Amino acid sequence: MKVRKLADLEVSALGLGCMSMSALYGPPADKAEMIKLIRFAHDKGVTLFDTAEAYGPFLNEGLLGEAVAPIRDRVVIATKFGFDIDPETGERRGGTNSRPDHIKTAVEGMLKRLRTDRIDMLYQHRVDTAVPIEDVAGAVKDLIAAGKVKHFGLSEASVTTIRKAHAVQPLTAVQSEYSLFWRGPEVELLPALEDLGIGFVPFSPLGAGFLTGKIDENTRFDATDFRNTVPRFTPEARKANFLLVDELKKIAETKNATPAQVALAWLLACKPWIVPIPGTTKQHRLEENVGSVDVELCETDMNVINTVLGSIRIVGDRLPEAALKMTGR
């Protein structure tokens, strides 16, 4: 596995998003099998593991903590605060909560669930418009000074918010959705991150599975799968958007790779400070994803991908309206 740097934090070129093991893509997967999968990922060279208190809530952090306990000093744990979750019961109270006292209480719970004495990367999951970002950054700065947190990050934040936070406590990384299925960050976010020297961690780098080529208009999702509520994943939108996958498959054939591998390789080729975090619950998919680091895309390949796929109009928003309102703030 190749390595990359998010600011001054060295991680594997490809991380593992653990969310789908516990939440949002259907019922939680078998815990024992997921522990095996996380450890298998580390055996394959993955060192960056991404979770959040909201996944479950709390279930995913507990799973990851148990899985990496034997290899704690050889991995980078990233987790997130920011939703209004009761720190004792895990009850979702609705909306966001990034009050400094809540952040610090939330971190204490994270440390216990993750079975560790420090969090390598702590993200604000969504910007809380009721709390100045300078206060949020200040709270994380205190946690860093106390040795409980090593690095600070933001998720789905605007460039203005990023700059304000960075001025108080330097950011190591920013997360946002980014893939051939959603290229919004190219307009303002990526140039700003490059200017500030902040790393970028794209989540949903395979377009919530769509870029694998295994989802079409006839696919039926589990009743609890969040994609049932996403405009981009209606049967009609999937049918229209499959043109993107068709073109991606053609390019993949020329590289002796899968569409998913080319989609991930494209992200890796965009910038040396981009570290995608595809998620999966299947070992063969993990192996396929890891194989993307060996797919070389030359300048001509990138031009073809950007020209051909970039000209395809994607049908449907990437998130439901209520969720979109919580991004880019």
- Sign for the CA dihedral angle at 297, 298, 303, 304 comes to negative
Token reading at 42 = 């580390």
Identify the active-site residue in 25, 55, 123, 178: 55
Query: Do residues 201 and 173 make contact, with C-beta atoms less than 8 angstroms apart?
Result: yes
Look up 25 and say whether it is catalytic: no
Question: Any residues with CB less than 8 A from the CB of 56 and at least 6 apart, and which?
Answer: 22, 23, 28, 62, 90
For residue 152, list its beta bridge partners.
122
Written as one string, the DSSP assignment of 184-248 is GGGTTHHHHHHHHT-EEEEESTTTTTGGGT---TT----TTBGGGG-GGGSHHHHHHHHHHHHHH
Q: Which two tokens stand for residue 154?
A: 């933001």
150, 169 contact by CB (below 8 A): no
What is the C-alpha to C-alpha distance for residues 137 and 141, in angstroms, rounded to an integer? Answer: 6
Which alpha helices (H) appear in the chain, and where do they start and end? 31-43, 59-68, 100-113, 133-145, 159-168, 189-196, 235-254, 259-270, 283-290, 299-308, 321-324
Of 15, 81, 17, 77, the closest CA to residue 54 belongs to 81
Q: Give the integer Cα–Cα distance in Å for 94 and 161.
A: 22
Peptide bond connecting 202 to the previous residue in cis, omega within 30 degrees of 0:
no
Pairing of strands 9-12, 3-6: antiparallel
Which residues are part of the catalytic machinery? Answer: 55
